[in-house]
Amino acid sequence: MLPMNLFATLAGADAFVVMKQTLIVLAPELIMILAATAMMTAGAFVKRTRQAWLSTTFIVLGVAFVALLAVSAQTTDPFSSVALNDSFSFAARLFLLGTAFILVALAHDQVDEARAAEFFGSLLYVNAGAMLVAAANELVFLFVALELVSIPTYLLLYLPRRNAATREAAVKYFYLSIFASAMFLFGAAYLYGLTGLSNLKAIGFLSARNLPNIPNLQVGLIAVMFLLAGLSFRVAAVPFHFYAPDVYEGSPTYIAALLAWIPKAVGFLAIIRVLTSVIAPGGDGAGRLIEKAALLAWVIAAATMTLGNLSALLQDNLRRLLAYSSIAHAGYMMIGVSVAFVNLPGAGAFYLGSESILFYLAAYGLMTLGVFGAILALSTAERPVETVDDLAGLAKSHPRIALAMAICLFSLAGIPPLAGFFGKFALFASAFSATRGDDTRMFQVLALVGVINSAIGAYYYLRIVVAIYLRPNSAGPLPRRGREAWPACIATGVCTALVVVFGMFPRTLGVPCRTAAVAANTVPAEPDVQPAQPVPVARLSAD
Amino acid sequence: MHGSFLVRNCWLVPFFPLAGAVAAAIGGKRLGASAHIPVVIGIGLAFLVSLGLLGAAGADSTTVLFDWMNAGGLRVPVEFRVDGLSTMMLSMVTFVATLVAVFAVGYMAGDPAYPRFFACVGLFVFMMTGLVLSNNYVLTYVFWEGVGVCSYLLIGFWYAKPAAAAAAKKAFLVNRVGDFGFAIAIFWLWTVANNHDLSYSVVLDPANLKLIRPEAIFGISLLLLWAATAKSAQVPLYVWLPDAMEGPTPVSALIHAATMVTAGVYLIARSMPMISSDPRVLAIISLVGGITAALAAAIAITQTDLKRVMAYSTVSQLGYMFMALGAGVGSVAQLAVVAAMFHLFTHAFFKALLFLSSGSVMHAMGGVIDMRKFGGLRRKLPVTCATFAVGGLALAGVFPFAGFWSKDEILAALKLASEVSGGAEGTGWGWVYGLVYWVAVVTAGLTALYTGRAFFLTFFGPERLPTAEDLAAAGHGSHDDAHTNEHGHGHDDAHGHDTHIGHESPLIMTFPLVALATCAVGVGLLFGPTGIFEGHLEHTLGFENLGHAEHGTDWNSILIGTFAALFGLALSYPLFALPSRIPSILATRLGMLYRASLNKFYIDEIYAAVIVAPLSFLAQLSKFADVYIVDGLVRLIAKLPRALSRSALAPYQNGLIQFYAAAGVLGLAALLAILLLI
């Protein structure tokens, strides 16, 4: 029962209208990309201070922010447009734009004057690319958006500091990232070959209708595996996590902060866009594929969080520790991915998996950027903050930064009432709502693994808190940096405040996450002649 | 809910001392030597409000401030009750507290922790007045704990001194044992109370009391008695009070003689409408009181520490109050409660007086309080000697001093109780009261004897002052070393303030003595035979329903009691005032008895062997299990992840990019194989 008019729509949609809608929706990213291009071009000819480039960047972000709000009502045709402006897209882009402000604020003193234009231009590219991933509705477009994140990142790795360690880190990231992109492309090609479609909503639609071509289990599984492998590199999940500790440690702290947040966000948003919301609507008909995909994510989740937490126990270098911490958190979020695949009879609402990923992602971003921000606000050329011991006695010398850092660390450890706790709670709760057939144990065990890992993880976070509050610094107190660190301090403060607010009032974050998760998993209705508005499938609206 | 402005604002009574305490605590550093001002003013104001409340007392004047807890079946409002009993207690507490606070201004002068002392005293008065005002068992419990904490803080005021720290701990722990009983009583009461309401007005309502099963009343009453034996230092939980004398003397006078230790008596009296319905409990209460009174008096006779004599005397007198409360059977009920409360009332004045006089002696003797180290002080300390004499006569129960009137009432109540309970239609417990009556008479004689002994040893005989070694020992005893040493050979007294040994205390200390002495002479005569006290106490919740009948004056008891008192005093004069070898001869002749009394009948040692030792053995066992088994397991579990990480994971993080890529691909291949095969 192939709905012929679907393909009729795909072929016959008014190409000009679709392009206009898409360009309007992507206005914020376009502004950022154009500005970044202008900055990088001008940087070669015009001599301006770092302060000036910084201000320009902020202005561009502000304009993009206004543009994002202005186009929030614009929708596109889900079957023919490469970009969507559903709740998922809007919420994710809004949040990413918010963290872009924080990232730029943290970057305010991280580069010398000569390279400031390229540096801030690259930052704009990276953030624009991340936002495009959130909006992507097409395989090729998604790949381009991912590369728009990756390529400027290579530049950023290399720009601020040029010593052997940075060079090594940049090279490692470069090669492995290209490798991961290749795997992603391979998986994308299989997906395309399987369906003959590159529009993600259309593939989801096919999947939901249980159409004859899919699932061809083996081919479908290869597609899922390679897509997930390529994205696992971005989020630093096992077995593609190896680069993270080396690259974080070798790079400047600021770059480590960038790597801890942007690729992670991009990776999970892409996983929701290209995998879970495409496979899961297949429901019972795609049962075998769903089971295997969920099992795959299950194994990756368990391995990733356990490896991340265990390895972090031994670390003294803060960036290395936070690298393993970021691996561990990728593992927690992989629980959500595993749940998000499961759309089988008896399982709870399957968008709960996506919802918990989004909640956790937001919480993770805020608390990780808060910790990195605190380190950045403290570091000076004479006394770089490199190891846990460097933070000893911080509570005496910098009580406010110490408090912010402690709050973010408590949140990372998952202690209530902070955002990190509710993130973990949402993930574990979603695991308890998921079943595979009659078997509920599989996901309950995963939640249990997650809980044990949280307990192990608490050790290395609290170890830092202990150093901050209970140990004197053998090298004397860290110097006070005075006023010049204020942007980093404000960014840290904002992150900490949001961690507390989202912890105290989890609904303020939870409700947008739910709306976004529902939108991402919504399969558009069968088009008549006119492209229709996306409507939830029956199963979703029943929930 | 009617009531005057004062009744509605009775919270002012606890509020003023609290405000003073907070001011002293916060501004302590800045106020320094004038840290007492806010507290003395606060307590004084509380006294004035209490006086005003005396006139406003009614049997059901309650005022609800706010709901404290309201969860499920439990509703606990902060509600206060202004009736005969509470206003009587309030006036007494705030009056004595004011005088003691004034006394302490002189006594504590120069102490390094002067503000802390007054902050604690203010806090104590807040807790005590709250305890008395509360109209709810739960709220009472809160303040009950609160006075316990203040007592702990003040006994351990000189915490650097090991004896004081140990005494504070002992007092707290023994009181916790009693609190446990109180808590269980409240839980039980909650299950049986009408509508789970724990307000006195509801629980003690006769209509509601009828609905509670007699066994429940029996159990709850016994548990309340359990609680009272700890707070009011009765057998078997009295052991903390003598040790509590390690605290500063004003604290002993205020908390451990006049006010806090009467909280147990107050609780029983407050619950009398419930307790009096079960003659078994009453008999037990009387018996406990009788045993305590006799035991403590027998110990007091041989003690050499003046303050300890007073402490045992307090225990003994509290025993009298319990005897009286227990006598509240049938038609004697009201008389018995009035007798007990009247004794509580008069005792507060004369015992506070005796303690403050002892404090004055101690002050003048440079911190030495052992009666063997000084003597014949009547010429050196004329005012103290006179006030001590007044207090002693009141304690001994000599006409017309305060103690005479209240002790007489107790004897009369016991006699009546034995008559009412005995005989064919009685409850069969008459013999208990008969026995307790004679215990009371004998104890009255012993009381007079040890009071006379303490007085004569201190103020009569050849004049002796403590030697330099005694002073040094005392100085070291009650103060941190640095403080004493800077003055050298104990020339300062125990309180770090320069007085010359053997001189009368300053006016700020003698004035409260004289004021209290006046009361010790007058309050008995003024309130007892005139019926004022009884008339006031009748305006108390549930008291009008207690049995009462007209009773004639019991001349027999008056004569017997007076004879016992005079006999004791008369005996003490030749024994202790004149140079005499009789005491030492007696001590050798009655060797075993003497040693037993001197060593407090080995009660502490028995407790240590029977209760403390097994418990600490158990604690050692638990500690062993905790340190070596539980901790060991925890450490092992904590070591596992690190070991696993070091051995299984770290080697693969080798920094080689080709390995990383290969590992990723191999991992992917392995996963693919597994997933395709299953």
pLDDT (tens digit, 9 = 90+) per residue, A513-534?
Answer: 999 999 998 888 876 544 444 5
B489 has a pLDDT exceeding 70: no
More confident position, B52 or B577: B52
In this complex, the residue of A221, A233, A245 whose CB is nearest that of residue B676 is A221
Evaluate whether residue A6 is within a structural domain: no
CB contact under 8 A, B668 and A225: yes
Residue A216 pLDDT grade (very low, low, confident, very high; cuts 50, 70, 90): low
B675 touching A (Cβ < 8 Å): yes
Check residue A179 and give its pLDDT.
94
CB B313 within 8 A of CB B447: yes
Check residue B321 and give its pLDDT.
95
Q: Which stretches of chain A sit within 8 Å of chain B by CB?
A: 171-172, 175-176, 179, 183, 218, 221-222, 225-226, 229, 233, 238-240, 242-243, 245-246, 292, 295-296, 299, 307, 309-311, 313-314, 456, 459
B114 has a pLDDT exceeding 60: yes
Quote the tokens at residue B614: 């097994």
Tell me what the mean pLDDT of segment A87-108 comes to.
95
- Closest CA relative to residue B385, chosen from B424, B353, B409: B353
Q: Distance, in angstroms, between B488 CA and closest chain A CA?
A: 40
Check residue A230 and give its pLDDT.
95
- Exposed (0-12), middle (13-18) or buried (19+): which is A400, by Cβ within 10 Å? middle
Show residues of chain B in contact with A221, CB under 8 Å: 672, 675-676
In this complex, the residue of B641, B650, B655 whose CB is nearest that of residue A456 is B641
Check residue A542 and give its pLDDT.
39
Check residue A9 and give its pLDDT.
54
- Closest CA relative to residue A308, chosen from A272, A352, A264, A355: A264
The pair phi, psi for residue A521, each rounded to 5°, is -95, 5
The percent of residues in chain A predicted with pLDDT above 70, rounded, is 92
Check residue B494 and give its pLDDT.
44
Evaluate whether residue A2 is within a structural domain: no
Chain center to CA of B289: 15
Check residue B2 and give its pLDDT.
47
Q: Which residue of B lies nearest to A452 if distances are taken between CA atoms?
A: B641
d(CA A204, CA A195): 10
Residue A442 pLDDT grade (very low, low, confident, very high; cuts 50, 70, 90): confident
CB contact under 8 A, B666 and A309: no
d(CA A25, CA A126): 18
The whole domain housing A98 covers: 25-525+532-542
Tell me what the mean pLDDT of segment B557-573 comes to.
90
Tell me what the mean pLDDT of segment B194-202 comes to.
88
Show residues of chain A in contact with B676, CB under 8 Å: 218, 221
Amino acid at A236: A
CB contact under 8 A, B661 and A299: no
Size of interface A-B (CB pairs under 8 A): 70
Task: Give the pairing of strands B62-71 and B74-81.
Answer: antiparallel
Show residues of chain A in contact with B675, CB under 8 Å: 221, 225, 292, 295-296
In this complex, the residue of B649, B655, B676 whose CB is nearest that of residue A311 is B649
B662 touching A (Cβ < 8 Å): no
Q: Distance, in angstroms, between B664 CA and closest chain A CA?
A: 5
d(CA B108, CA B482): 17
Chain B residues 342-361 within an 8 A CB cutoff of chain A: none
Strand partners, B370: B305
The percent of residues in chain B predicted with pLDDT above 90, rounded, is 56
Show residues of chain A in contact with B653, CB under 8 Å: 242, 245-246, 311
CB A257 within 8 A of CB A103: yes
Evaluate whether residue A11 is within a structural domain: no
Check residue B585 and give its pLDDT.
81
Evaluate whether residue A368 is within a structural domain: yes
CB contact under 8 A, B675 and A179: no
Q: Which residue of B lies nearest to A460 if distances are taken between CA atoms?
A: B642
- Closest CA relative to residue A356, chosen from A443, A295, A476, A278: A443
Tell me what the mean pLDDT of segment B44-69 comes to.
85
- Closest CA relative to residue B396, chosen from B597, B551, B573, B263: B573
- What is the tally of structural domains in chain A? 1
Quote the tokens at residue A2: 């192939």
d(CA A227, CA A296): 12
Quote the tokens at residue A83: 């970009």
Check residue B424 and give its pLDDT.
64
Per the prediction, chain A carries an average pLDDT of 88
B220 has a pLDDT exceeding 90: yes
Which ipTM value was assigned to this complex? 0.86
What's the pTM value of the predicted model, to 2 decimals? 0.66
The percent of residues in chain B predicted with pLDDT above 70, rounded, is 95
Tell me what the mean pLDDT of segment B594-607 comes to.
87
Which of A243, A279, A311 to mutate against chain B (most B CBs within 10 Å)?
A: A311
Evaluate whether residue A383 is within a structural domain: yes
CB contact under 8 A, A311 and B666: no
Tell me what the mean pLDDT of segment B241-254 comes to.
92
d(CA B232, CA B673): 80
The angle formed by the CA atoms of residues A79, A80 and A82, to the nearest 5 degrees, is 105
Of the listed ranges A439-443, A491-495, B119-123, B661-665, the least confidently predicted one is A439-443
Q: Which residue of A lies nearest to B638 if distances are taken between CA atoms?
A: A456
Which of B675, B676, B677 to mutate against chain A (most A CBs within 10 Å)?
A: B675
Neighbours of A3 (CB within 10 A): 15
CB contact under 8 A, A239 and B652: no
Check residue B593 and give its pLDDT.
84
Local structure of residue A532 (DSSP, 8 states):
P
Check residue B531 and give its pLDDT.
86
When computed from its CA atoms, the radius of gyration of chain B, rounded to whole angstroms, is 29
Q: What is the 3-state secondary structure (H, E, C) of B130-171?
A: HHHHECEHHHHHHHHHHHHHHHHHHHCCCCCCHHHHHHHHHH
Quote the tokens at residue A276: 């879970």
In this complex, the residue of A172, A221, A239 whose CB is nearest that of residue B675 is A221
Q: Which residue of B lies nearest to A307 if distances are taken between CA atoms?
A: B649
Check residue B399 and give its pLDDT.
87
Show residues of chain A in contact with B646, CB under 8 Å: 314
B651 touching A (Cβ < 8 Å): no
> B651 Cβ partners below 8 Å, 6+ apart?
none
Check residue B579 and give its pLDDT.
76
B497 has a pLDDT exceeding 90: no
Show residues of chain A in contact with B663, CB under 8 Å: 239, 242
Show residues of chain A in contact with B659, CB under 8 Å: 242
B657 touching A (Cβ < 8 Å): yes
- Closest CA relative to residue A322, chosen from A267, A278, A376: A376
In this complex, the residue of B644, B660, B661 whose CB is nearest that of residue A310 is B644
CB A245 within 8 A of CB A320: yes
Check residue B529 and give its pLDDT.
85
Residue A473 pLDDT grade (very low, low, confident, very high; cuts 50, 70, 90): confident
pLDDT in tens, B82-109: 999 999 999 999 999 999 999 999 999 8
pLDDT in tens, A351-401: 899 999 999 999 999 999 999 999 999 988 888 889 999 999 898 889 999
Check residue B499 and give its pLDDT.
46
Check residue B6 and give its pLDDT.
83
Local structure of residue A386 (DSSP, 8 states):
-
Show residues of chain A in contact with B656, CB under 8 Å: none
Q: Distance, in angstroms, between A432 CA and closest chain B CA?
A: 23
Show residues of chain B in contact with A216, CB under 8 Å: none
Which range is most confident: B71-80, B238-247, B422-431? B238-247
Residue B473 pLDDT grade (very low, low, confident, very high; cuts 50, 70, 90): confident
- Closest CA relative to residue B152, chosen from B122, B166, B172: B172
Check residue A526 and give its pLDDT.
75
Query: Where does B414-510 show beta strands of DSSP type E?
Result: none
In this complex, the residue of B644, B653, B675 whose CB is nearest that of residue A242 is B653
d(CA B244, CA B311): 8
- Exposed (0-12), middle (13-18) or buried (19+): which is B617, by Cβ within 10 Å? exposed
A540 has a pLDDT exceeding 50: no
B157 has a pLDDT exceeding 90: yes
Show residues of chain B in contact with A233, CB under 8 Å: 664
Check residue A40 and give its pLDDT.
93
